[in-house]
Amino acid sequence: MSMRKALVVACVAAVVAAVAVVQLRQAGIIGSGLALRDADAGAGTATVGGPFSLIDPQGRTVTDADFRGKVMLVYFGYTHCPDVCPTDLTAMGEAVRLLGPAAGNLAPIFITLDPQRDTPGVMGEFVQLIDPQVTGLSGPPAATAAAAKAYRVYYAKVEKPDDPDGYGIDHSAYMYLMGRDGKFLTVFRHGSDPDTIAAGIKPYL
Ligand code: NI
């Protein structure tokens, strides 16, 4: 293309990027130097979080409304994840224990992006390994997709030859802290250590 046309294209791209940055900043997502890889596509509003309706390990339907009055710490992943999820979920469990009695006001939640394998029963056993306080939620694929969309979680099924079932789930990995009213407070990026997570949660309990 011509130089002039290239400049116009570059300018439009810059404006789109700037608008996305402002939206994320308004949502408090990059105010602390974080960037949501999946929220950068310039989707209309910058709200993170929202309604979900999933299935707990006892087979009961659980919605976001059931956690009102508690501070929610929400993580999306899957139990067959080789490294990302185990790292973050271990940190989640450790943060809960660091908070001690104050964690009574906290609802740590692990939502699977792989309901095909992570049935409610599998989730129930898995969360015991993280911390007994963690609620593991599964659900039909449509309910999983709706919850992920509300939290702007990117995920995609991918072929993985080293997985026993031949597939894995690529996914964004953020831990979302949601207030007693269910509204977004802050986010912890992948690899955050337990002390950082606990310290970030404490003021809201
Ligand atoms: Ni993972």
Summarize pLDDT for 164-193 with one digit per residue, the tens. 999 999 999 999 999 999 999 999 999 999
The pLDDT of residue 10 is above 80: no
Distance in angstroms (rounded) separating the CA atoms of residues 72 and 64: 9
3-state SS assignment for residue 6: helix
pTM equals 0.79
What is the DSSP secondary structure assignment for residue 54, as one 8-state letter?
E
The band of 18, judged by pLDDT with boundaries at 50, 70 and 90, is very low
Query: Cα(135) to centroid of ligand 1, in Å?
Result: 17
Query: Cα(11) to centroid of ligand 1, in Å?
Result: 36
Query: Cα(164) to centroid of ligand 1, in Å?
Result: 16
Query: Cα(84) to centroid of ligand 1, in Å?
Result: 4
Query: Cα(75) to centroid of ligand 1, in Å?
Result: 10
Distance in angstroms (rounded) separating the CA atoms of residues 86 and 40: 25
Query: Cα(24) to centroid of ligand 1, in Å?
Result: 24
Query: Cα(144) to centroid of ligand 1, in Å?
Result: 15
Query: Cα(117) to centroid of ligand 1, in Å?
Result: 14
Average pLDDT over the chain, rounded to an integer? 85
Distance in angstroms (rounded) separating the CA atoms of residues 75 and 153: 10
More confident residue, 201 or 39: 201
Query: Cα(122) to centroid of ligand 1, in Å?
Result: 16
Give the pLDDT score at 4: 46
The pLDDT of residue 1 is above 90: no
Pairing, β 135-137 against β 167-171: unpaired
What token pair was written down for 74?
């929400």
Give the pLDDT score at 147: 98
The band of 61, judged by pLDDT with boundaries at 50, 70 and 90, is very high
Phi, psi of 49 (to 5 degrees): 100, 170
Over residues 46-61, the mean pLDDT reads 94
Query: Cα(59) to centroid of ligand 1, in Å?
Result: 23
Query: Cα(44) to centroid of ligand 1, in Å?
Result: 27
Pairing, β 155-159 against β 167-171: antiparallel
